[in-house]
Structure 1
């Protein structure tokens, strides 16, 4: 398959937001955009019903990718947009079409009042069963949300991009995850904020008195390890400004907190071959459900 950005489209507000984000990303990458609408055929008894009708349902559902493609071409001139409808189960079809693609983009409903994601079962299964990077975009996401505030304090697409945030586990730092984050920051001409959370040794839970000096030393050691991991990547991407944050406490909470001022959050997912379960890891799982910016999940070994 030729290099392309793919977006799963079902006509919902979250999938439309995902398509808009994917079009902007395709333009940044100089790649074509492919809209995929999965049509799940109705069971035969229902298809025979005079009110529903399988052919009628398919006819109306074919309008979703066609009309979405027409609108994207008007709003994003220069982006090569193609659309198609494929029959099957969404989780299976999207995982299959993602093979060989540069990126798969999916929509996810925002949680009103909480600002996070409501990640559906289809997205979770697709994330767990594809090695292609997947980006989740919340409902209502707009181009201005990726950018810094203008002088009036309002997000504006005319201003520079907000930083890209990378949640990094220094014990399992993977080249695929690091490369993706640096490339995204480079495309946007913005800073890369690398966030690493660390915890005190387990014996601190046994009622021993706090030792501020030891805490500070552990913090320095962790910051030094983070700097060591990033040093070769700074040399490889000299134009990307890197901000290192090594902080005591939950990695997920720190990444979610940083997402409030991010244009994109990048996290990793270790590839596991077991067919049972989602296997995306607790930190990535928490970030998926609570980050307020689009989240890219990059699979790695």
Structure 2
């Protein structure tokens, strides 16, 4: 099988050939059907020699010992690492593997496996009061997900801070009440103006821009909480994924509008490079996997199956 991983330290990741893994006790083997990549993959490449990618959906192809055979054939959404591969192993329970309902497409489910839970968790950590104001810096997939959660689920007044026009429009579509453009406005002054001089009640920083953290502190009320969106800890991962799927299935969130580019798996390296250089207009690329004839007749040890 092919996997997108580091070949040698210091080199960019690339497609490599690896044996199809064998699921161990309590594990399933998933055939990947689609995946997303994000800029975070670039930051973690050196620490993830086993493979990149943490947002994937697929179909269970085989199960290990102690796992009910009925798992085989199920569509599943999966969080974790090393998901940019034609096949990967995952724990059958307790680590973010959730069966996908028929009401949710593979494309939609990809966001439930990554960006949506991360944005939701950031919004809940910031904890804006209903009707209170929250400034959300950066409207990439995580920032947009935080915008949905803060505005539509928590009832806050969302002030989105984003310089790129496409992302500004999506922020308004995702529930932002107003958008501040830091390329043309002094963000902190604008936040004070929009809040009657008091400053925003809290803020989320969902961008690596060095000026965002400074503006967040200057544009919020004294003692206000500033939350930094990041990959969430494993605890509660499956619950967050399941909740995002529920919101998508009920039509409260349509995340696929955040997808701006589509690549077949053999061009994943190109997608990774273009996203890493922050190509204008690119928010989230989806990677589509071909349907193979079947798992290669080889395990991790190279033994015939």
- TM-score, with structure 1 as normaliser: 0.27
Q: Which has the larger radius of gyration?
A: 1
Per residue, is there more helix in 1 or in 2? 1
Per residue, is there more strand in 1 or in 2? 2
- TM-score, with structure 2 as normaliser: 0.27
